[in-house]
Chain A
Amino acid sequence: MNNFLLLFGIAFSMLALMIYVIYEVEKWRSERRVLTALYIEGMMLTMNIGAYLYVAYHCLFYFLVINGAYAFLGLYSILSIKSIERKRGVIYAIFSLFMVISEFFMGSLFVVLQTGKPATIDSSVENVWFVSVMLAEMSFTFYLSFRKLDKITRNYLLSLLLLMPWFPALFSNVVIPFWASAIIMIGATVMIYETLYNQRLRANQETFTTMELMAIYMLMMLGEFLYFIYSTLVVFDISMMIAMTWFIFRSLAGPNPIKGNYLRNSKLAFGIIFLTFIMEFFMGGTLDFVEGVFSPGISGFISSLMLPWLPLNSVQGAIWDFIDIVGSVLGSVWFLIMMGIEMGFLAFKKMMEMHVREVRVRMMLMIIAYAIYSIYIPNFSPISSISQYIPYLWSMGIGTMAPVSNSVLVGLIGTYVVYAILSFLFGSRNLCAVTCTAPLMYQGNFYDALKVYNRTSRLGKKTLTSKLSPWYKAIALGISIFVLASAIVSYLNSEGILHFTVYGVDITILIYFIWFDIMWYILFISIPFLGTFACVTTGYCYWGVFNQAVSRIGLFRLKVKDPQQCLNCKTVDCATACPVGLTDMRASFIKNGEFRSMKCIGIGECVNACPYDNIMFYDVRHWLKEKFSKVSS
């Protein structure tokens, strides 16, 4: 009890002094006051370091030298500084850094006072004293700066503040803090993307501040992920200290003065997407560990991977294992759930912007399909164990669930038949705009805004229009034949006629793994260089190509009520809105009164964008209506 009161007294006095210096620096009433505050803060830092060294190692000499030297030299430094008015950023940075280092050594001191043993990075940070003092300081800084900060920076800082209390060592088990931080981070990511989307029409957005925050989130999640593999929170602790430094700095200095436009600068857009994606990768992996999908420890993790592990003594083995790790996380159920929540919310926001009922219904079906068809049925439903025998449940065609064999032929071929019928009747949108997981990710409001890169990026421009270029045909046909051949090999292999696997992995399973757990995500994060829906525009998706080919000969098309209206149209919003980049639809509307293309997957943005409500979907429903009306007349 006495020990507790003692520690409380030290922590409280430190906090009180820190609050004073934060106040002085934030208010900036005079340069000398600020420098004095900085000096006092530095004194606390050296006192903590000295006290720690003294208590841990009984080294009075260093304690005295460190403190004495700082008292004099620190004072000499601030007396020598002439003006800091133009160096506010530097002062804020030093101040923030000093604060965190000071807190760190206070944590170290408390550990050694409590245990009598020297502290580690982990024990210095993962204790209630460090966390509570840190939270109090961050909250106070935020409170003081609140009025001078703009709404966006406030939201960014608040999201980070909410993430700070979840230090695993403060809880009886890691499930609560890891889940809490994941949920908060998902919410924060949605908020960040909403912010960027809402700012899209401005000359510049808070792109650099966003990337800073995203980098911190990424580090936090990396720390949590590594905890399960190496049983250490060091990286997580470092990320929390960086987060605190950034928080204090940005609270005082405001957002990054360097701005940029993510719709004009592809590198900026890529930076944001890439950082988010890496963060999501580690978050998905962490949640897989928390939920028991992956086993902890290095050997546990390796045993949880989808492909067999190869020795790392060759380049081939290293590449294989890298693909294995990346694909296993990206294809894991909790990664998909996390992405679904995040992207689903953004897609929902986009849906609310749509005024055409059919488009809204399609988007709602897309969100529901992600939850039920892609997540619930194959993973959690009572039929999950037998889903490979059921037609329609091979959600991405060959390779989705199992090698091709007699036992699954009904499920596999049945899936192709059902999808072919649906694509013939309603167009490939039954897959590419509803049941596939890709449209949910592409159709979030932020990502949808990036369709501008279909028109401006060097590679994206080459995929524009409905024309099937020779390279598109080569890719689509080549891959389709390759997959078909692989399916035959897989079948022969399962029948024992042929013995062909890749390191023990069935060829169709491997293709699915590489296509949809690796390549699809590469395409996704490459939006700034390829544009949106690159899965459609490049012809790489063999499952999509099959459905699009059926759709092309089927009943689905876009029709216009009055082609003359298109002739007089000045805006051509339909072509601008198309996320696939089918910019030639207007010419087809004028010439034929309709638009048919293998690449048209029925997203419906053109229908929604047309200012005259002139465009409409045409499918089996309209065809039947026409037939019945002819018969009745």
Chain B
Amino acid sequence: MEDLFLLSIIAGVMITAIVFLLHEAERVKSKLGFSLVVFGFVMMITMFLGASFYLLSPSNLSLAEAILINNFTMIAYILLVFPFIKKFKVKFEMSSISSLSVSLLAVINEILMSLTFNIDCGVSNLFYFTFNSGWFFYPMMAEMLSIYLIHYIKGEFRKDLFPLIGITSFPPTLIDNAKWFYSSLAISLALSGLGVINSKGFIRGIYVALILSLLLLFKVYIIYDVVITVSMITYYFSLLSQ
């Protein structure tokens, strides 16, 4: 129980950091600022990677490797940015590529956080749980919700993205429980249907894909995992690039 709470606290801190970085990504006005946002995401990724290495085979060597990975990122950033700092002090506007990069980095962070925590929890099927456990879905939902609320306070209301928050709240693959599976499946399908009605273009396609992947869950889960991951990237991308 204590481990669970400790991991929850760590997850909470990480979610806060990711939300902060996503929020900053929308506000940065210089290249240096954007590079710091990217650096923040990369640092977190390497931190999770290092932690995963260590947790898979805890030893002094793996600990040293974990530290080394983190140090490498820092040194690389310093060497890449600091000698050319004047070049980074130029005006910057978010492009589609930069929005996509940030969205990808955020989702990779999510995946790695889930991986790390699942290793710590000692789950058997690591790949499955990385994409289908609470450590993946709920931090993701919290981040999506936080970003959504930040936009809401600013007066922006994306009706088309709104059902995605509900869908991440009710992932049928979360626990091995029939009651949960069928109720969350029904809710997810209903929300996806709502998404189809309220959206258009690529986002509508995501909702259609979600419906299909949800229906395929009786046979295969991996399509659902892929679609939900893509939907996350789409969600962040849509908000960052608007």
CB of B82 to closest CB in A, whole Å: 35
- B175 interface residue per 8 A CB criterion: yes
- B148 interface residue per 8 A CB criterion: yes
Provide the bound-state CA to CA distance between A79 and B151, in Å.
12
Chain B 102-138 near chain A by CB (<8 Å), digits 1 or 0: 0000000000000000000000000000000000000
Give chain A residues whose Cβ lies under 8 Å from the Cβ of B183.
65
Provide the bound-state CA to CA distance between A32 and B174, in Å.
32
Contact A71 B141 (CB under 8 A): yes
Q: Nearest residue in B to A116 (C-beta to C-beta)?
A: B1
Give chain A residues whose Cβ lies under 8 Å from the Cβ of B9.
9, 13
- B48 interface residue per 8 A CB criterion: no
A53-89: which have CB < 8 Å to B?
55, 60-61, 64-65, 67-69, 71-72, 75-76, 78-79
Contact A61 B162 (CB under 8 A): no
CB of B187 to closest CB in A, whole Å: 8
Q: Which of A30, A55, A60 sits near B153, CB closer than 8 Å?
A: A30
- B92 interface residue per 8 A CB criterion: no
Contact B149 A39 (CB under 8 A): yes
Provide the bound-state CA to CA distance between A65 and B170, in Å.
8
What are 5 contact pairs spanning A and B, CB under 8 A?
A10-B5, A32-B152, A61-B179, A64-B174, A72-B165
Question: Which of A10, A64, A69, A75: most chain B CB closer than 10 A?
Answer: A64
Q: Nearest residue in A to B169 (C-beta to C-beta)?
A: A68
Contact A76 B162 (CB under 8 A): yes
Contact B145 A36 (CB under 8 A): no
CB of A60 to closest CB in B, whole Å: 6
- B72 interface residue per 8 A CB criterion: no
Also in contact, A67 and B153, with CB within 8 A (given A60-B177, A75-B148): no
Provide the bound-state CA to CA distance between A32 and B156, in Å.
10
- B58 interface residue per 8 A CB criterion: no
Provide the bound-state CA to CA distance between A271 and B57, in Å.
73
Contact A64 B166 (CB under 8 A): no
Give chain A residues whose Cβ lies under 8 Å from the Cβ of B53.
none
Contact A64 B157 (CB under 8 A): no
Q: Nearest residue in B to A35 (C-beta to C-beta)?
A: B152
- Besides A13-B9, A61-B179, 19 more A-B contacts (Cβ < 8 Å) are A6-B5, A10-B5, A32-B155, A39-B149, A60-B175, A60-B177, A64-B170, A64-B174, A64-B180, A65-B180, A68-B166, A71-B165, A72-B165, A72-B170, A76-B162, A78-B152, A79-B157, A79-B162, A113-B1
Contact A3 B2 (CB under 8 A): yes
Q: Nearest residue in A to B142 (C-beta to C-beta)?
A: A71
CB of B200 to closest CB in A, whole Å: 19
Also in contact, A71 and B153, with CB within 8 A (given A60-B175, A64-B174): no
- A629 interface residue per 8 A CB criterion: no
B175-203: which have CB < 8 Å to A?
175, 177, 179-180, 183-184, 187, 191
Range class of the A interface residue count: 20 to 34
Also in contact, A71 and B145, with CB within 8 A (given A60-B175, A64-B180): yes
- A33 interface residue per 8 A CB criterion: yes
Question: Which of B12, B153, B162: most chain A CB closer than 10 A?
Answer: B153
Contact B152 A79 (CB under 8 A): yes
- A2 interface residue per 8 A CB criterion: yes
Provide the bound-state CA to CA distance between A546 and B12, in Å.
79
Chain B 71-110 near chain A by CB (<8 Å), digits 1 or 0: 0000000000000000000000000000000000000000
Provide the bound-state CA to CA distance between A39 and B153, in Å.
12
Q: Which of B145, B153, B165 sits near A32, CB closer than 8 Å?
A: B153
Q: Which of A13, A30, A72 sits near B12, CB closer than 8 Å?
A: A13
Give chain B residues whose Cβ lies under 8 Å from the Cβ of A61.
175, 177, 179-180
Provide the bound-state CA to CA distance between A32 and B169, in Å.
23
Provide the bound-state CA to CA distance between A71 and B175, in Å.
19
Give chain B residues whose Cβ lies under 8 Å from the Cβ of A33.
153
CB of B55 to closest CB in A, whole Å: 20
Also in contact, A55 and B169, with CB within 8 A (given A36-B152, A71-B141, A75-B145): no
Q: Which of A10, A13, A60, A71 sits near B169, CB closer than 8 Å?
A: A71
CB of A441 to closest CB in B, whole Å: 56
Give chain A residues whose Cβ lies under 8 Å from the Cβ of B157.
79
How many chain B residues have a CB neighbour from A under 8 Å? 28
Give chain B residues whose Cβ lies under 8 Å from the Cβ of A64.
170, 174-175, 180, 184
Q: Nearest residue in B to A43 (C-beta to C-beta)?
A: B145
Q: Nearest residue in B to A5 (C-beta to C-beta)?
A: B2
Give chain B residues whose Cβ lies under 8 Å from the Cβ of A30.
153
CB of B170 to closest CB in A, whole Å: 5
Give chain B residues whose Cβ lies under 8 Å from the Cβ of A39.
149
Chain A 1-25 near chain B by CB (<8 Å), digits 1 or 0: 0110010011001000000000000
Provide the bound-state CA to CA distance between A483 and B95, in Å.
100
Provide the bound-state CA to CA distance between A68 and B174, in Å.
12
Provide the bound-state CA to CA distance between A65 and B174, in Å.
12
Q: Nearest residue in A to B180 (C-beta to C-beta)?
A: A61
Q: Which residues of B approach A to under 8 Å, CB–CB?
A: 1-2, 5-6, 9, 12, 141, 145, 148-149, 152-153, 155, 157, 162, 165-166, 169-170, 174-175, 177, 179-180, 183-184, 187, 191
Provide the bound-state CA to CA distance between A10 and B187, in Å.
31
Give chain B residues whose Cβ lies under 8 Å from the Cβ of A13.
9, 12
Provide the bound-state CA to CA distance between A350 and B6, in Å.
62
Provide the bound-state CA to CA distance between A30 and B154, in Å.
10
Q: Nearest residue in A to B167 (C-beta to C-beta)?
A: A72
A496-528: which have CB < 8 Å to B?
none
Give chain A residues whose Cβ lies under 8 Å from the Cβ of B5.
6, 9-10
CB of B14 to closest CB in A, whole Å: 14
Question: Which of A61, A68, A78: most chain B CB closer than 10 A?
Answer: A68
Q: Nearest residue in A to B8 (C-beta to C-beta)?
A: A10
Question: Which of A36, A60, A75, A113: most chain B CB closer than 10 A?
Answer: A75
Provide the bound-state CA to CA distance between A71 and B155, in Å.
19
Contact A36 B153 (CB under 8 A): yes
Q: Nearest residue in B to A40 (C-beta to C-beta)?
A: B149
Provide the bound-state CA to CA distance between A372 and B14, in Å.
69
Give chain A residues whose Cβ lies under 8 Å from the Cβ of B180.
60-61, 64-65
Give chain B residues whose Cβ lies under 8 Å from the Cβ of A69.
169
CB of A621 to closest CB in B, whole Å: 80
CB of B204 to closest CB in A, whole Å: 20
Contact A67 B169 (CB under 8 A): yes
Give chain A residues whose Cβ lies under 8 Å from the Cβ of B1.
55, 113
Chain A 530-574 near chain B by CB (<8 Å), digits 1 or 0: 000000000000000000000000000000000000000000000
Give chain B residues whose Cβ lies under 8 Å from the Cβ of A79.
152, 157, 162
CB of A174 to closest CB in B, whole Å: 33
Give chain A residues whose Cβ lies under 8 Å from the Cβ of B169.
67-69, 71-72
Give chain A residues whose Cβ lies under 8 Å from the Cβ of B170.
64, 68, 72
Give chain B residues whose Cβ lies under 8 Å from the Cβ of A2.
2
Provide the bound-state CA to CA distance between A76 and B194, in Å.
13
Give chain A residues whose Cβ lies under 8 Å from the Cβ of B2.
2-3, 6
Provide the bound-state CA to CA distance between A2 and B9, in Å.
14
Q: Which of A3, A10, A36, A55 sits near B149, CB closer than 8 Å?
A: A36
Contact A75 B177 (CB under 8 A): no
Contact B162 A75 (CB under 8 A): yes
Provide the bound-state CA to CA distance between A407 and B174, in Å.
87
CB of A196 to closest CB in B, whole Å: 43
Q: Nearest residue in A to B175 (C-beta to C-beta)?
A: A60
Question: Which of B5, B148, B183: most chain A CB closer than 10 A?
Answer: B5
Provide the bound-state CA to CA distance between A502 and B233, in Å.
87
Q: Which 6 interchain pairs have the tightest Cβ spacing?
A: A68-B169, A72-B166, A71-B169, A32-B153, A68-B170, A36-B149
Q: Nearest residue in B to A70 (C-beta to C-beta)?
A: B169
Provide the bound-state CA to CA distance between A67 and B145, in Å.
13
Provide the bound-state CA to CA distance between A501 and B175, in Å.
76
CB of A599 to closest CB in B, whole Å: 70
Give chain A residues whose Cβ lies under 8 Å from the Cβ of B166.
68, 71-72
Provide the bound-state CA to CA distance between A55 and B153, in Å.
34
Provide the bound-state CA to CA distance between A71 and B142, in Å.
9
